[in-house]
Amino acid sequence: MVSKERARRRAEREAERARQEALRAEREARLARRRERVGRVTALLPGRPVKIVSQGGIMARRRRAQNAVAAVLFLIVQVIAWLLWSSWAARFGTLVLSLLFVPLFLTLVFDRRT
C-alpha cells in the first residue's frame, strides 16, 4: 500500500518534471527563433549593431507607465475631436493644442522633480 502510494507520487513528480522540461524547451526554442530573426534583420542593416538596454528600476517603470498614460490620453482626445468635428480646421487645431498642452500636462500631473 505504501509502496504503491510512493510509486504514484514519484510518477506525478516525474510527469511534472517532464512538463516543466517541455515548457523550458519550448521557451528556449522560441528565444532561439527570435534571436535568429533579429540576427537576420540586423545583418541587413549597415554599420555596427547597437544593443539597446532598457532600464528596469522602479523609476524607469514609473516613467514608462506615465508616458503610456499620456499617450493614451492624447489619442483619446484626438479620437474624440475626430468624431465630434467634421471640420479639418477644428481637427488640426485640436492636434496643435494637444501637442502644446502635453508637456504642460506632464509637468503638472507627473512632476518628476519630487
Number of H helices, E strands in the chain: 3, 0
Question: What span, in angstroms and rounded, lies between the C-alpha atoms of 17 and 14?
Answer: 5
pLDDT at 71: 93
Backbone torsion region of residue 51, taken as left when φ is above 0, otherwise alpha when ψ lies between -120 and 50, otherwise beta: beta
Query: Do 19 and 41 belong to one domain?
Result: yes
Would you call 51 helix, strand, or coil by DSSP?
coil
Total domains in the chain come to 2
Query: Do 34 and 71 belong to one domain?
Result: no
- Residue 78 contacts residue 94 (beta carbons within 8 Å): yes
Total-model pTM: 0.50
- Tell whether 66 is covered by a domain: yes
pLDDT at 112: 63
AA identity, residue 35: R
- Tell whether 114 is covered by a domain: no
All three cell numbers of 26: 519550448
Query: Do 46 and 4 belong to one domain?
Result: yes
Residue-wise pLDDT tens for the chain (114 aa)? 778 999 999 999 999 999 999 999 999 999 999 999 988 888 887 877 677 777 778 888 888 888 899 999 999 999 999 999 999 999 999 999 999 999 888 888 877 665
Question: What span, in angstroms and rounded, lies between the C-alpha atoms of 114 and 2?
Answer: 64
All three cell numbers of 90: 477644428
- Tell whether 21 is covered by a domain: yes
Structural domain containing residue 90: 58-109
- Residue 81 contacts residue 94 (beta carbons within 8 Å): yes
pLDDT at 45: 79
